[in-house]
Chains A and B, each alone.
Chain A
Amino acid sequence: MKIFERFLHIDRRIIFVLIFIGVALPLIWTLGFNLEVTENVESVYNLMEELEPGTRILISFDYGPSTKPEIQPMAIALMEQAFTNRIRIIAIALWPMGVQMCNEAFEKVSAEYPNIEYGIDFINLGYKVGGMVTINHMAKDFRSTFPTDGGGNPIDEFPIMKGIKNFDKLGCVISLSAGDPGLKQWVMIAHDTFGKPVGGGTTAVQAPIMLAYVNEQQQLVGLLGGLKGAAEYELLVNKPGFATKGMDAQSVAHLIIIIFILIGNIGYFATRKKDTMKS
């Protein structure tokens, strides 16, 4: 019976070390588990695929470096898909760090698309505070919300902004979000008030909540949830990247955590039975 008691008191530093190793090793030696694309990810992909070349979409970068590993791969994959299909991107950020996240992604992707030009195929309008109120404001009066791009140049100078006064001329809205303000606010305003299709990617923490919006009312067309969602999207656009590479490590770490949950519970039940027998 002693072994069960020991089950209950494994030093947490052992767990820390095992998690560290469990994540590190599969990064170095990939195992190559197979990956399946799920419905919600495919819906976002199809939403983008069905847009006509030249259509302008809005991508909102509502995250920062703290959740970069989960969301940046989505941003990169989405940009790849957009530029391949000649979809034009108007980028904004509701989180101040989103501005730099967006520029990093653009720098990385645009290197492979030499004919993509800032101001024609892509623009970064920078950060605005205010969350839902600001989204509502830009839906009514885009130009007074964003009089300039992120570098302080008037938006009238850029062809991509021609005729954009509200959301009417946008093909769809995509929000890459790590919390509040983010995807929820976009669903509430862009779709539920102004009828624009909204798709998006969130951290895995947010995903179960946001899934309630992926419904018959199409409040949310589809959802990329966490690193797995990003990996599936990389598979769809055929550009395996960071997310795909991370999936093995993710799987191994989950397995370690599940094993520890089991050990803890086995110990718990075994010792509890003993306790009740004693009493």
Chain B
Amino acid sequence: MEILMHRIGIWIGVFLTFAIFSFLYKDNPFYKIAEQIFIGISAGYWFIYTIYNILIPNLFVPVTTDFAHNFILLIPAFLGILMLCRLIPSIDWVSRYALAVVVGTTAGLFFKRYLQSDVLNQLTATMLNPFASSNAAQIIGELILIIGTITGIVYFFFSKKHEGAFGTTARVGIYFLMVSFGAAFGYTVMARISLLIGRLNFLLGDWLGILKP
């Protein structure tokens, strides 16, 4: 029976795969059906996992089994319920109290972590002595890295007109940005093709069985 259900499952998967691929031809009812099933299942999955993996172990169980130590958790629970009030338009403003905690925490943490990781650590990682190496490629590379980083930042400098030497520096900066966009483009092609490989592996392997396992 298990094997039969497995085969049926594969056929369902194949149907859904082709329903979505049909979008390549044009938008059509099969695609729309598959799309709505996707949205529905996805939402259901999130819903169930949030309850089982977060609300029950982190809120419900601690409060019901050891109330004396965990009664403080009633505050976030209350705020969470305020959050749900957004569903009722007449009192949706109360959700702002909960939102304020979420936004405040995120803003505070983002402030210090971005300053540390994306500004200070990137800065120190660029403080290199390019001439320390004996390898020509590395010397050139590290010089490029230092110049590219500085000119790139100059491009994003908004308080000064891009003209004269400053404009030239910004121009060099944009070239570096373009190279990294090119690299990103190449990598994205790679990523999307990989996903198609995964799909064809399913169709040719799991469904038609013409691939060696």
Q: A99, B53: Cβ atoms under 8 Å?
A: yes
14 extra A-B contacts, CB within 8 A, seeds A212-B122, A226-B194: A16-B24, A27-B201, A28-B211, A66-B195, A69-B195, A69-B199, A99-B49, A126-B57, A188-B113, A203-B191, A204-B191, A205-B191, A249-B200, A254-B193
**Given A147-B57, A147-B61, do A242 and B201 touch, yes or no (CB 8 Å)?**
yes
* Contact among A19, A70, A128 for B195, CB-based, below 8 A: A70
B24 partner residues in chain A, CB cutoff 8 A: 13, 16
Q: B128, A226: Cβ atoms under 8 Å?
A: no
* Contact among B61, B124, B180, B198 for A69, CB-based, below 8 A: B198
Q: A188, B116: Cβ atoms under 8 Å?
A: yes
Q: A192, B180: Cβ atoms under 8 Å?
A: no
Q: At the interface, yes or no: B125 with Cβ under 8 Å from chain A?
A: yes
Contact with A along B53-71 (1 / 0, CB 8 A): 1101110011000000000
Chain B proximity of A152: nearest CB distance (Å): 6
Which single residue of chain A is at the shortest CB-CB distance from B106? A133
Q: A27, B200: Cβ atoms under 8 Å?
A: yes
Q: B110, A204: Cβ atoms under 8 Å?
A: no
Q: At the interface, yes or no: B46 with Cβ under 8 Å from chain A?
A: yes
Q: A133, B197: Cβ atoms under 8 Å?
A: no
Q: A70, B61: Cβ atoms under 8 Å?
A: no
Q: A207, B200: Cβ atoms under 8 Å?
A: no
B90 partner residues in chain A, CB cutoff 8 A: none
Q: B204, A208: Cβ atoms under 8 Å?
A: no
Bound state CA distance, A24 and B197, in angstroms? 8
Q: At the interface, yes or no: A222 with Cβ under 8 Å from chain B?
A: no
Identify the stretch in A37-45, A53-61, A213-221 within 8 Å (CB) of chain B at 4 or more residues: A213-221
The number of chain A residues with a CB under 8 A from chain B is 59
Q: At the interface, yes or no: A224 with Cβ under 8 Å from chain B?
A: no
Chain A proximity of B103: nearest CB distance (Å): 11
Bound state CA distance, A66 and B199, in angstroms? 10
Q: A253, B193: Cβ atoms under 8 Å?
A: yes
Q: A132, B191: Cβ atoms under 8 Å?
A: no
When A and B form their complex, what is the total count of cross-chain residue pairs whose Cβ atoms lie within 8 Å?
Answer: 147
B197 partner residues in chain A, CB cutoff 8 A: 23, 27, 69, 227, 246, 249-250
A129 partner residues in chain B, CB cutoff 8 A: 50, 54
**Given A152-B52, A250-B190, do A187 and B125 touch, yes or no (CB 8 Å)?**
no
Bound state CA distance, A187 and B117, in angstroms? 8
A238 partner residues in chain B, CB cutoff 8 A: none
Q: B183, A208: Cβ atoms under 8 Å?
A: yes
Which size class do B's interface residues fall under?
Answer: 35 or more
Contact with A along B174-197 (1 / 0, CB 8 A): 000000100110011111011111
Q: A67, B195: Cβ atoms under 8 Å?
A: yes
Residues on B lying within 8 angstroms of A by beta carbon are 24-25, 45-46, 49-50, 52-54, 56-58, 61-62, 105-106, 109-110, 113-114, 116-118, 121-122, 124-125, 128, 180, 183-184, 187-191, 193-201, 204, 210-211
Q: B191, A70: Cβ atoms under 8 Å?
A: yes
Q: B113, A192: Cβ atoms under 8 Å?
A: yes
Within 8 A of B (CB), among A41-93: 66-70
Bound state CA distance, A219 and B125, in angstroms? 9
A205 partner residues in chain B, CB cutoff 8 A: 184, 187-188, 191
Bound state CA distance, A139 and B195, in angstroms? 34
Q: B196, A128: Cβ atoms under 8 Å?
A: no
Bound state CA distance, A68 and B188, in angstroms? 15
Chain A proximity of B38: nearest CB distance (Å): 10
B193 partner residues in chain A, CB cutoff 8 A: 19, 23, 249-250, 253-254, 257
* Contact among A16, A144, A213, A227 for B190, CB-based, below 8 A: A227
**Given A148-B61, A253-B193, do A24 and B200 touch, yes or no (CB 8 Å)?**
yes
Contacts A/B (CB < 8 Å), 22 sampled: A13-B24, A19-B193, A24-B204, A70-B195, A99-B53, A126-B49, A129-B50, A129-B54, A133-B106, A133-B109, A147-B61, A189-B113, A193-B116, A208-B187, A216-B125, A217-B121, A219-B117, A227-B197, A242-B201, A250-B190, A250-B193, A253-B196
